[in-house]
């Protein structure tokens, strides 16, 4: 075996190194210095993230007989996820240093890093075995993380629901895989792609695809595979919820695109374009309809994130390089916008324990800065210009329609646009209750912790800068278009 | 050229706006004011360096060996990519007129920043004022260095917005609020035309870039490029709308935006009201920089306008009527700032006419050079006059000349500098206005003696109303000033006056033709003493003499004239009832005839469908609620059936 292949996995190995440092520190260092763990992890991860951007121009490399692949585009999506994880780490610092959490501080970081490693594998895997390892690695530790609030009933309930659904979805996914294996005789993406190219759209292939889509759709919480989302988001500790909603979703979306475009690219217009078509409409609409009537902020954001996942899928359905660029940009923007909202929620929860939208009334009076960040986040999620969310939506619509003359896709974008109007209602409900309420504020004036503020500053800067500065999208687009859809991910 | 300096020219004012806007309330007045002055001062130095490099460095990027000036793009960053060809870029274009304009803008802006230290002292919202000044300077600089028409439009709107903020600076005063709204709405309305013009132009040509419209061909002259020399015209060929070619429509609509910003008839009504803003703001925005944006726009697209004589004719006619109208009205106003406002309208119209009559066949488009020359000299002496008026208002606390008189004894610096400004605008040699106005008149006479005679008459009126104002302020009859005798302002206010007066004395001797010409080929100015210059001096002197007779000492002559004019004086004093006409049209016709049906449609149809959508969404939301039952068994069942159904439906659709 050629051990130099491991060099292709620079990002994974660096991540594992961080994991080991954190693990060893947590296990062997005296109790007194353990409070420094969150700082150390964050700094290490920040350095890792920065270093990752140095690898952006990395080459296309493959290892382990083509099971593992990396390319500039893949390095970029990993970097984007790193940025999100970094913000999550910063935002979770004050929660991790709280009294109840301090005994389990180390576990949180270790599990989080392991799941991120799994997501890396999902993105880079070009063999379904490796993919499944990544998928499980990214799913199972999350169940433990969801159950972190040991003394809270909802946390346990959420963990159990997550666990059961995850196991079930894995089963469905594997079933789909076994059909694929049956049809093609291989688990390599390349071989599958070439075999599927020779096949007609036969029932077995369609069922196999449906099961594969259902399996990954669980991680993305596409309707109707989304039902766990709201309960889990609500029950899990907020830091875990924010991690679940952006990082887990972002990585799954990219991996999903790789599978569909790479393995099943030849049956795009025959089969999975229409499957996605239906799923997108369902996901956006049902997510919106549920979000309309929520009062708990985390539950509200759960449904909002379901609907956002539908928009992310629009980047896949175009099956072109621009769609891929817009999907990556959407994930990046979504990371900043959603984490801004979760940052505020977490800051308020840590200080007051309040989580309901009605508790946020007149927040502007007592905590103007928090209200302002929340407003930016809501504007960005709703897609109001000039904030980043507007441009990410704009580009993802452009990506879906680029190079197509299909009327159906125009109809799809129209439906997505109508849903944007509906979503405006519930996003602005939050803003309304924060700014336009006449009653006295419930939440008292407080000063959030330094880490919380840093996190919110980063998110605010991101939401504004990504909207106004064209560099980010342009560089992603250039990267994707230069290599083309398939070359970028192969 | 290194892009750092041009980038700093744009970034420093923007940074100043952000710093003063976000942190200003924590600074003291003094710190905020001096920060603004220093920031603008640095910008000014950088702009001078840039312009000097452009004009005098003999770099091959800027000038050919034969001495022809070139357009040079310093940087051009993609900002928003719609399609592969339709890209909005943000950049920095350096050519004779943009180099000229950045000098004018930063100079005037610096003077105003310095002056405001004294003028605005102790005002509430001092830091906000400086933040807005910085924002305005940033937008204006961004506008003139735009590399494409869309960037220009973005900054054009920013300029409008910052002008709105500054006019409404005293937002507790209802008149200031309504003036700012008026300015914003009128110019916004004009910008609608501008936008449509841009859309037509870019739709047909598929580009936004100025260099595609007007670029150097064979290193000798600006010509319309875009693949072939007459590429643009070719693209427009055959496309007509209502009897005019599409290009004419595009150019006239684009000019409409210029009419709004430059206050040409009939969109001039906002400028006199805009005098509600602080006086230094009037000097900066409503005399020297923003209002000439329209002239700049036409000059920027001049090669394009040349292809469509009808559009140039339109500009000439609008300019000529406006110039005369504004000059007449200026003769009858009481508020000294309004006199200056109408004078500004009239002078900008001069520049427009000059552009309108310019043709390559007449002395290499002398009118183009003359217009830019006048833009430069006018900016200096009009800012001087406004700042002088500010010093007067500061001293007597009133805008009306009725509260002034005999001030020459009390305010010697203001008096002398104001007099220099008046002499310059009246066109008396050797002050700067004489030279630029002389070139404009020459250009008019070359086109047709009608335009020449008409503009000479307006020039005479200019001399008359300026000296009327001068005598009424500094001579005439001295009112009772009480205990507090008026006096000159502090040095921060006097220094800009002296500086601008000095510039107004010498600016006429700048060999302008060698710096700015329509195609970059140097043009040597020569004054036609017998044909144009001498008659116009005689007219100006006669007008000044008339003003001296009527207004030097208090007498009843002006009243007699007003009475004898059969209502003309009253009509002019009421600005020929333009505002009333607008009120009638908007309130009676537009509000009743158009807005009411639209409001009905909005309330019933639009809101109705939205309410319907909301109702539907709510109903559906309640209907599907049982899905989210909370029972994990149900979740898994739905999951399984969802997956099966997905497969089944697709199979059915694909195979059947």
ipTM here:
0.90
Does the beta-carbon distance from B639 to A169 stay under 8 Å? yes
- Between A138 and B88, whose confidence is greater? A138
**pLDDT tens profile B425-469:** 988 888 888 888 888 888 888 888 888 889 999 999 999 999 988
Please, which residues bridge with residue A63 across strands?
A68
Q: Could you give the angle at the alpha carbon of B363 between the alpha carbons of B361 and B364, nearest 5°?
A: 70
Inter-chain touch A230–B627, beta carbons under 8 Å: no
B83 touches A: beta carbon within 8 Å? no
Tell me which residue in B627, B630, B636 faces A231 most closely, judged by beta carbons: B630
Q: Name the least confident of A103-107, B203-207, B648-652.
A: B203-207
User: Of A222, A232, A236, A245, which Cα lies nearest the Cα of A87?
Assistant: A245
Hey, is the C-beta of A470 within 8 angstroms of any chain B C-beta?
A: yes
CB A257 within 8 Å of CB A324 = yes
| 3-class SS of residue B80 | strand
**Of B131, B155, B100, residue with least CA distance to B18:** B131
Q: How many Å apart are CA A58 and CA B124, to the nearest integer? A: 57
**Whole-angstrom Cα distance, residue B456 to residue B532?**
9
Q: Does A425 touch chain B (CB under 8 A)?
A: yes
Is A482's Cβ below 8 Å from some Cβ in B? no
User: Which stretch of A283-287, B51-55, B216-220, B626-630 has the lowest confidence by average pLDDT?
Assistant: B216-220
Task: Using the predicted structure, report yes or no on whether residue B342 has a pLDDT greater than 80.
Answer: yes
Cis ω before B602 (30° cut-off from 0):
no
Q: With beta carbons under 8 A apart, name residues in chain A contacting B640.
A: 168, 172
Cis status, amide bond into A377, omega within 30 of 0: no
Flag if B651 and A172 touch (Cβ within 8 Å).
Answer: no
- For A314-363, how does the pLDDT look when each residue is reduced to its tens digit (9 = 90+)? 999 988 888 999 999 999 999 999 999 999 999 998 888 888 888 888 88
Phi, psi of B222 (to 5 degrees): -70, 135
Q: Are B334 and B268 spatial neighbours (Cβ–Cβ below 8 Å)?
A: no
pLDDT band at B17 (very low <50, low <70, confident <90, very high): very high
Sign of torsion, CA A8 A11 A15 A17? positive
DSSP H helical segments within A97-227, as ranges?
Answer: 105-124, 128-146, 153-184, 189-198, 203-220
Which of the four pLDDT bands, split at 50, 70 and 90, describes residue B223? Answer: low
Provide φ and ψ at B631, rounded to 5°: -95, 125
CA B454-B456-B460 angle, 5° bins = 115
Return phi, psi of residue B69, to 5°. -80, 145
Interface contact A474-B78, CB threshold 8 A: yes
A211 at B interface, C-beta within 8 A: yes
Nearest to B103 by CA among B44, B40, B16: B44
Q: What is the pLDDT of residue A164?
A: 92
| pLDDT mean across residues, chain B | 85
Provide the pLDDT for residue B236: 64
Query: Measured between alpha carbons, how far is B369 from B435 in angstroms, rounded to an integer?
Result: 12
Taking the C-alpha atoms of residue A258 and residue A319, their distance in angstroms, rounded to an integer, is 10
Structure confidence by residue, pLDDT tens digits, B554-572: 888 778 877 887 777 788 7
Query: Poorest-confidence range of A265-269, A458-462, B377-381?
Result: A265-269
The span from the CA of B277 to the CA of A95, in Å, is 52
User: Cα(A324)–Cα(A317) distance, rounded to whole angstroms?
Assistant: 10
Q: For an interface test with B, which of A199, A210, A467 has the most B Cβ atoms less than 10 Å from its Cβ? A: A210
User: Is A286 touching B (CB cutoff 8 A)?
Assistant: yes
- pLDDT at residue A141, rounded to an integer: 92
Judge whether A188 is closer than 8 Å to chain B, CB to CB. no
Residue B466, burial from CB neighbour count under 10 angstroms (0-12, 13-18, 19+):
buried
Q: Is the CB of B622 less than 8 angstroms away from the CB of A421? A: no
| Residue B422, H or E segment | helix B412-426
CB pair distance less than 8 Å for B628 and A230: yes
Render pLDDT for A383-410 as a digit per residue (tens, 0 to 9): 988 899 999 999 999 889 887 778 889 9
Among the listed residues B566, B543, B520, B233, the one whose alpha carbon sits nearest the alpha carbon of residue B369: B520
Q: How far apart are CA B196 and CA B651, in angstroms?
A: 50
Can you list the pairs that A11-14 forms with residues at least 24 positions away whose Cβ atoms lie under 8 Å? A11/A52, A11/A55, A11/A70, A11/A75, A11/A78, A11/A120, A12/A117, A12/A120, A12/A121, A12/A124, A14/A48, A14/A51
Distance from CA of A79 to the nearest CA of B (A): 23
Predicted pLDDT of residue A247: 94
Q: Answer for the pair A248, A122: CB distance below 8 angstroms, yes or no.
A: no
Report the pLDDT value the prediction gives residue B239, as an integer from 0 to 100: 63
Closest CA of chain B from A275, distance in Å:
7
CA A234 to chain B, closest CA, distance in angstroms equals 12
Contact B92, B72 (CB under 8 A): no
Reported confidence tier of residue B229, pLDDT bands at 50, 70, 90 = very low
Task: Give the residue from B144, B255, B151 showing the smallest Cα distance to B208.
Answer: B151
List the single residue in B with minimal CA-CA distance to A211. Answer: B643
User: SS3 breakdown of chain A: % helix, strand, coil, rounded to 5?
Assistant: 80, 0, 15
CB contact under 8 A, B639 and A218: yes
Least confident of A48-57, B375-384, B489-498: A48-57
Nearest Cβ partner for A168 among B639, B651, B655? B639
User: Of how many residues is chain B composed?
Assistant: 656
Closest-CA residue of chain A to B88? A470
Touching check for A147 and chain B: CB below 8 Å? no
The DSSP bridge partners found for residue B78 are B89
Q: Give the CA dihedral A40, A41, A47, A52, nearest 10 degrees.
A: 170
Q: How far is B639 from chain A (nearest CA, A)?
A: 5
Give dist(CA B464, CA B540) in Å, integer: 8
Residue to test with chain A: of B647, B649, B652, B656, most A Cβ within 10 A: B647
The answer to whether B630 contacts chain A (CB < 8 Å) is yes
Query: What SS3 class is residue B301?
Result: coil
Label residue A379 by pLDDT band (50, 70, 90): very high
pLDDT of residue B111: 92
pTM: 0.78
How far is the C-alpha of A252 from the C-alpha of A229, rounded, in Å? 15
| Average pLDDT score, chain A | 90
Q: What pLDDT, on the 0 to 100 scale, is given for residue A182?
A: 92
Q: Which of B612, B640, B646 to mutate to test the interface with A (most CBs of A within 10 A)?
A: B646
- The two most distant CA atoms of chain B are separated, in Å, by 103
Mutation site for B-interface testing, chosen from A168, A306, A325, A470 by largest number of B Cβ within 10 Å: A470
Rounded Cα gap, residues A272 and A264, in angstroms: 8
Categorize the per-residue pLDDT at B227 as very low, low, confident or very high, splitting at 50, 70 and 90. very low
Residue A220 has pLDDT above 70, yes or no: yes
Kindly determine whether residue A290 and residue B644, on different chains, have CB atoms separated by under 8 Å.
no
Q: Which residues of B touch A295 (CB under 8 A)?
A: none
Q: What is the pLDDT of residue A57?
A: 59
- B22 in A contact zone (CB under 8 Å): no
Task: Give the minimum alpha-carbon distance from B426 to chain A in angstroms, rounded to a whole number.
Answer: 47
**Cα B523 from Cα B512, distance rounded (Å):** 8
Pairing of strands A68-70, B215-217: unpaired
B606 to chain A, any CB pair closer than 8 A? The answer is: no
The SS3 of residue B77 is strand
What is residue B173's DSSP assignment? S
- Axis crossing angle, helix B607-623 with helix A407-435, rounded to the nearest 10: 90
User: B79: nearest CA in chain A?
Assistant: A470
Which of A434, A283, A309 has its CA nearest to residue A366? A434
Per DSSP, the three-state class of A188 is strand
Q: Tell which of B150, B622, B643 to mutate to test the A interface (max A CBs under 10 Å).
A: B643
- Judged by a CB distance cut-off of 8 A, whether residue A14 touches chain B is no
Determine the residue among A289, A408, A418, A466 to mutate to test chain B binding: the one whose Cβ has the most chain B Cβ atoms within 10 Å: A289
% helix, strand, coil for chain B, step of 5: 70, 5, 20
Q: Answer whether A227 sits within 8 Å of B617, measured CB to CB.
A: no
- Are residues B261 and B160 in contact, defined by beta-carbon separation less than 8 angstroms? yes
pLDDT above 70 coverage of chain A, percent: 99
Give chain B positions within 8 Å (CB) of A395: none
Q: What is the mean pLDDT of residues A279-297?
A: 91
Interface of B with A in 555-594 (CB under 8 A): none
Residue A218 touches chain B, beta carbons under 8 Å: yes
Per-residue pLDDT of B306-330, as tens digits, reads: 877 888 899 999 999 999 999 989 8
Beta-carbon contacts of residue A402 (< 8 Å; ≥ 6 apart): A318, A320, A322, A323
- The mean per-residue pLDDT over the stretch A424-429 comes to 90
pLDDT higher than 80, residue B527: no
Range from A39-48, A59-68, A92-101 that averages highest in pLDDT? A39-48
CA-to-CA separations, A24 to A142, A145, B164, in angstroms, rounded: 21, 20, 62
Helix/strand/coil (H/E/C) assignment for every residue in B346-377:
HHHHHHHHHHHHCCCCCCCCHHHHHHHHHHHH
CB nearest to B624's CB, from A214, A286, A418: A286
Tell me whether residues B634 and A227 touch, CB distance under 8 A.
yes
Name A327's Cβ contacts closer than 8 Å, sequence gap at least 6.
A253, A254, A257, A312, A315, A316, A396, A399
* Mean pLDDT, range A166-184, rounded to an integer: 93
Whether B632 and chain A come into contact, CB under 8 Å, resolves to: yes
Tell me whether B611 touches chain A (CB under 8 Å): no
CA B366 to chain centre: 22
The helix (H) or strand (E) run that includes residue A79 is: helix A72-96
Tell me if B263 sits within 8 A of B353, measured CB to CB: no
The residue among B268, B473, B495 whose CA lies nearest residue B384 is: B495
Residue B412 — very low, low, confident or very high, per pLDDT cuts 50/70/90?
A: confident
Residues of chain B with Cβ-Cβ distance to A203 below 8 Å are 647, 651, 655
A421 shares contact with chain B (CB less than 8 Å): yes
DSSP SS3 for A69: strand
Residue A312 binned pLDDT confidence (cut-offs 50, 70, 90): very high
Contact B650 A275 (CB under 8 A): yes
Contact A227 B650 (CB under 8 A): no
Given a cut of 60, is residue B217 above it in pLDDT?
no
Band the pLDDT of B219: cuts 50, 70, 90: very low
Beta carbons of B624 and A275 less than 8 Å apart: no
Q: Which residue from A210, A292, A422 is facing B650, i.e. has the nearest CB?
A: A210
């Amino acid at each position: 075996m050629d051990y130099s292949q491991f060099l292709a996995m620079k990002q994974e190995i660096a991540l594992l190194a961080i994991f080991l440092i954190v693990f060893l520190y947590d296990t062997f260092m005296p109790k007194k210095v353990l409070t420094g763990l969150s700082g150390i992890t964050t700094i290490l991860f920040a350095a890792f993230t920065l270093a990752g951007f140095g690898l952006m121009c990395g080459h296309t490399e493959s290892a382990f007989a083509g099971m593992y692949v990396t390319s500039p585009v893949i390095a970029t999506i990993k970097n984007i996820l790193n940025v999100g994880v970094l913000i999550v780490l910063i935002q979770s610092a004050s929660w991790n240093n709280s009294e109840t959490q301090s005994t389990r501080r180390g576990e949180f970081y270790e599990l989080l890093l392991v799941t991120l490693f799994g997501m890396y594998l999902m993105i880079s895997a070009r063999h379904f075995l490796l993919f499944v390892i990544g998928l499980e690695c990214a799913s199972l530790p999350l169940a433990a993380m969801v159950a972190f609030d040991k003394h809270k009933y909802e946390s346990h309930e959420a963990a159990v629901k997550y666990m059961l659904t995850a196991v079930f979805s894995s089963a469905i996914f594997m079933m789909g895989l076994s059909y694929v294996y049956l049809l093609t005789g291989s688990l390599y993406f390349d071989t599958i792609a070439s075999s599927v190219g020779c096949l007609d759209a036969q029932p077995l292939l369609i069922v196999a695809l449906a099961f594969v889509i259902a399996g990954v759709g669980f991680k993305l919480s596409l309707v109707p595979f989304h039902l766990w989302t709201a309960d889990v988001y609500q029950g899990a500790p907020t830091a875990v919820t924010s991690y679940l909603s952006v990082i887990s979703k972002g990585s799954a979306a990219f991996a999903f695109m790789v599978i569909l475009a790479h393995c099943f690219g030849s049956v795009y217009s025959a089969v999975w374009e229409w499957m996605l078509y239906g799923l997108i409409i369902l996901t956006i609409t049902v997510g919106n309809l549920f979000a309309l009537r929520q009062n708990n902020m985390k539950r509200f954001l759960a449904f909002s994130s379901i609907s956002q996942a539908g928009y992310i899928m629009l980047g896949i359905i175009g099956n072109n390089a621009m769609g891929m660029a817009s999907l990556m940009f959407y994930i990046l923007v979504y990371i900043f916008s959603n984490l801004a909202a979760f940052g505020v929620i977490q800051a308020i929860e840590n200080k007051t324990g309040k989580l309901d939208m009605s508790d946020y009334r007149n927040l502007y009076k007592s905590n103007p800065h928090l209200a302002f960040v929340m407003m930016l986040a809501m504007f960005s999620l709703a897609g109001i210009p000039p904030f980043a969310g507007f441009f990410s939506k704009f580009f993802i619509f452009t990506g879906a329609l680029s190079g197509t003359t299909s009327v159906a896709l125009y109809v799809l974008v129209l439906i997505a646009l109508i849903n944007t109007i509906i979503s405006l209602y519930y996003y602005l409900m939050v803003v309304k209750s924060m700014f336009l309420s006449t009653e006295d504020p419930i939440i008292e004036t407080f000063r959030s912790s330094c880490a919380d503020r840093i996190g919110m500053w980063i998110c605010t800067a991101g939401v504004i800068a990504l909207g106004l500065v064209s560099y980010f999208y342009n560089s992603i687009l250039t990267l994707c278009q230069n290599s083309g859809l398939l070359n970028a991910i192969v | 050229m290194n892009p750092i300096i041009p980038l700093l020219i744009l970034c420093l004012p923007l940074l100043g706006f952000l710093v003063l806007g976000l942190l200003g309330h924590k600074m003291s007045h003094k710190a905020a004011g001096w920060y603004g002055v220093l920031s603008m001062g640095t910008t000014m130095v950088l702009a001078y360096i840039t312009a000097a490099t452009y004009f005098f460095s003999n770099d091959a990027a800027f000038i050919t060996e034969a001495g022809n000036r070139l357009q040079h793009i310093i940087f051009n960053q993609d900002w928003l990519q719609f399609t592969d060809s339709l890209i909005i870029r943000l950049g920095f274009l350096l050519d004779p007129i943009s180099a000229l304009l950045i000098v004018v803008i930063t100079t005037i802006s610096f003077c105003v920043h310095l002056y405001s230290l004294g003028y605005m002292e102790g005002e509430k919202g001092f830091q906000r004022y400086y933040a807005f000044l910085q924002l305005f300077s940033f937008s204006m600089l961004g506008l003139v260095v735009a590399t494409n028409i869309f960037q220009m439009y973005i900054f054009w709107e920013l300029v409008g917005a910052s002008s709105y903020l500054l006019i409404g600076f005293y937002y507790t005063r209802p008149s200031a609020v309504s003036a700012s709204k008026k300015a914003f709405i009128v110019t916004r309305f004009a910008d609608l035309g501008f936008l449509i013009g841009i859309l037509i132009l870019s739709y047909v040509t598929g580009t936004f870039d100025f260099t595609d419209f007007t670029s150097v061909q064979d290193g000798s002259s600006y010509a319309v490029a875009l693949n072939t020399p007459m590429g643009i015209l070719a693209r427009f060929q055959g496309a007509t709308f209502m009897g005019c070619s599409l290009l004419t429509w595009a150019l006239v609509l684009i000019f409409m935006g210029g009419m709004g910003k430059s206050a040409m008839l009939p969109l001039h009504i906002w400028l006199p009201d805009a005098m509600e803003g602080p006086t230094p703001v009037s000097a900066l925005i409503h005399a020297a920089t923003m209002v000439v944006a329209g002239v700049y726009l036409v000059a920027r697209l001049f090669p394009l306008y040349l292809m469509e004589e009808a559009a140039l004719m339109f500009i000439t006619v609008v300019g000529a009527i406006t110039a005369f109208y504004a000059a007449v009205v200026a003769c009858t106003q009481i508020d000294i700032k309004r006199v200056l406002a109408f004078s500004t309208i009239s002078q900008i119209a001069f520049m427009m006419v000059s552009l309108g009559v310019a043709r390559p066949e007449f002395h290499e488009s002398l009118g183009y050079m003359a217009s830019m020359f006048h833009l430069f000299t006018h900016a200096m002496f009009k800012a001087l006059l406004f700042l002088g008026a500010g010093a007067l208002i500061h001293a007597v606390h009133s805008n009306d000349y009725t509260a002034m008189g005999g001030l020459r004894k009390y305010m010697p610096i203001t008096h002398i500098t104001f007099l220099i400004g008046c002499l310059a605008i009246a066109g008396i040699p050797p002050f700067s206005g004489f030279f630029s106005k002389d070139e404009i008149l020459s250009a008019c006479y070359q086109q047709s003696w009608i335009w020449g005679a008409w503009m000479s008459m307006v020039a005479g009126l200019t001399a008359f109303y300026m000296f009327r104002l001068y005598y009424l302020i500094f001579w005439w009859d001295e009112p009772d000033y009480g205990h507090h005798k008026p006096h000159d302002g502090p040095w921060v206010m006097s220094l800009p006056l002296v500086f601008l007066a000095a510039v107004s004395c010498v600016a006429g001797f700048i060999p302008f033709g060698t710096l700015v010409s329509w195609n970059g080929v140097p043009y040597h100015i020569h004054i036609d003493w017998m044909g144009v210059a001498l008659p116009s001096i005689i007219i100006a002197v006669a007008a000044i003499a008339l003003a001296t007779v009527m207004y030097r000492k208090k007498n009843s002559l002006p009243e007699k004239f007003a009475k004898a004019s059969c209502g003309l004086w009253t009509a002019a004093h009421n600005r020929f009832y333009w505002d009333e006409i607008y009120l009638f049209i908007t309130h009676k016709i537009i509000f009743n005839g158009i807005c009411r049906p639209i409001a009905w449609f909005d309330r019933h149809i639009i809101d109705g469908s939205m309410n319907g959508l909301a109702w539907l969404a709510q109903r559906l939301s309640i209907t599907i609620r049982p899905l989210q039952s909370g029972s994990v068994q149900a979740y898994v069942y739905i999951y399984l059936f969802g997956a099966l159904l997905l497969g089944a439906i697709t199979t059915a659709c694909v195979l059947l």
